[in-house]
Amino acid sequence: MGEDLDLVRRCQDGDHQAYRVLVERYEGRIYNLACSITGDRETARDAAQTAFIRAYQALSGFRADAGFYTWLYRIAVNVCLNAAQKEKRRRDTTSLDDLLESGHFTPEQLWERRTPYNDFERLRLQETIQEVLNRLSPDHRIVIVLKDIEGLSQEEISKTLNCSVGTVKSRLSRARSRLRDLLRPAYNEWKEGTSP
């Protein structure tokens, strides 16, 4: 965090290379966040780029009362919500491949051994999870993504979304309940199938 603040100060003093370091440090996380919120890779790329541009433009007003990444996430979440509202995206074409490649999840965590059947099941699971995420309201999707995929604490989410920790807890509880309801039919279908 101290290193981020040093880079921010250098950026504020006109050092463009320092901002490049910040972008390289957080571009993967911001892109993964954008993928999870928008459900579309192209939209996510555009949203991530826009978030970094807006952050750069607003950098002179950055105060060190919050961490840089929390501030950046707040900007990215707003950009992603705007992008998702402007575009009618195809909900069934995007998987969670980017999340798997990001290191947050690995195929080995989903399946103990790789077989063609397990690979097919993993793909079906990815598609189902993304489809269910897309069916959540934006408020619920964001807290699930920030907490369960990005690993932010409730306090960090509260700063990112500019709301109270109580609101975050409430949204998270409702979002997880809704997620369970939406995933239950898929789970029951999988359980009754021929999985080894």
4-54 pLDDT tens trace: 889 999 998 989 899 999 999 999 999 988 888 887 788 889 999 999 999
According to CATH, what is the number of the domain 2-192? 1.10.1740.10
Confidence at residue 108, expressed as pLDDT on a 0 to 100 scale:
46
Break the chain into its structural domains and give their ranges. 2-192
> What is the 3-class SS of the chain, one letter each residue?
CHHHHHHHHHHHCCCHHHHHHHHHHHHHHHHHHHHHHHCCHHHHHHHHHHHHHHHHHHHHHCCCCCCHHHHHHHHHHHHHHHHHHHCCCCCCCCCCHHHHHCCCCCHHHHCCCCCHHHHHHHHHHHHHHHHHHHHCCHHHHHHHHHHHHCCCCHHHHHHHHCCCHHHHHHHHHHHHHHHHHHHHHHHHHHHHCCCC
Q: Which residue has the higher pLDDT, 193 or 49?
A: 49
104-138 pLDDT tens trace: 444 444 444 455 655 666 677 777 777 888 888 88
- What percent of the chain is modeled with pLDDT above 90? 24
